[in-house]
Amino acid sequence: MSKRFELLIFDWDGTLMDSAGVIVQSIQAACVDLGWPVPSREAASHIIGLGLKEAVADLFPELPASEHPQLVERYRHHFLSQDRAIPLFEGARELVEEMHARGHTLAVATGKARLGLARAFEHTGMGGYFHATRTADVTFSKPHPAMILELLDELMMAPEQTLMIGDTSHDLEMARNAGVASLAAGYGAHPGDSLAEYGPLAICRDFGELAKWLRANA
């Protein structure tokens, strides 16, 4: 079968893994630990996809940077206590296996740190399907285009061969900044309707719809 997109770049949290709720709860619990104002679910969800340092700065712009590591430490404490139990979305493993078998080159671009993604790959057994990855601690955080541009260079792909799949405005803005097409996972951290302004090829309301779109159009 001919492929419209040779390279499929997936975000991880909220796109392949059903982790947005745990991330929000961990952020809120970390703020409780420190006696900081607890952000709303909406505010905490908005920073999902950013690198952790950038996320803290976005949530608490009034706090000096010297205090940010405290929240990072408490967030990691809460998240790592439950990350082994976070599931992939139903059908995610099968879709990735199928896209790999069809000959697509697969990559991950995530706001996780390198160690965090390695843990997720270990827990899920999914690492072997991806040809390359970029994380927020090894290059610029989303929505800067560096993650995608570096993956294109490493995998020797052209922008027109590439599709970015993500659930946040940060993912889709990164794709737009890099000059590649995007597909919105409207079931993740950011409301689907809010993603339309970034020009995705489609907004998928659940993982099954996303899988169906990729099988028919990728």
Residues counted in the chain: 218
pLDDT at position 2 is 61
Q: Is 150 helix (H, G, I), strand (E, B) or coil?
A: helix
**Residue 156 neighbours by CB distance under 10 Å:** 10
Domain boundaries, the chain: 7-19+86-217, 20-84
Q: 193: which DSSP letter?
A: G
**How far is it, in rounded angstroms, from Cα 93 to Cα 8?**
15
- Give, as one character, the DSSP assignment of residue 145: T
Question: Is there a contact between 157 and 134 (Cβ–Cβ < 8 Å)?
Answer: no
Tokens representing 157?
Answer: 């792909």
**Equal CATH topology for 7-19+86-217 and 20-84:** no
Please state which CATH number belongs to domain 20-84: 1.10.150
Spell out the per-residue pLDDT of the chain, length 218, in tens: 567 999 999 999 999 999 999 999 999 999 999 999 999 999 999 999 888 889 989 999 988 889 899 998 999 999 999 888 999 999 999 999 999 999 999 999 999 999 999 999 999 999 999 999 999 999 999 999 999 999 999 999 999 999 999 999 999 999 999 999 999 999 999 998 999 999 999 999 999 999 999 999 99
Predicted confidence at residue 43, as pLDDT, reads 93
**Residues 133, 135: Cα–Cα separation, whole Å:** 7
pLDDT value of position 211: 97
Nearest to 34 by CA among 94, 78, 3: 78
**CATH homologous superfamily for 7-19+86-217?**
HAD superfamily/HAD-like (3.40.50.1000)
* Dihedral angle of Cα 153, 158, 160, 166, to the nearest 10 degrees: -20
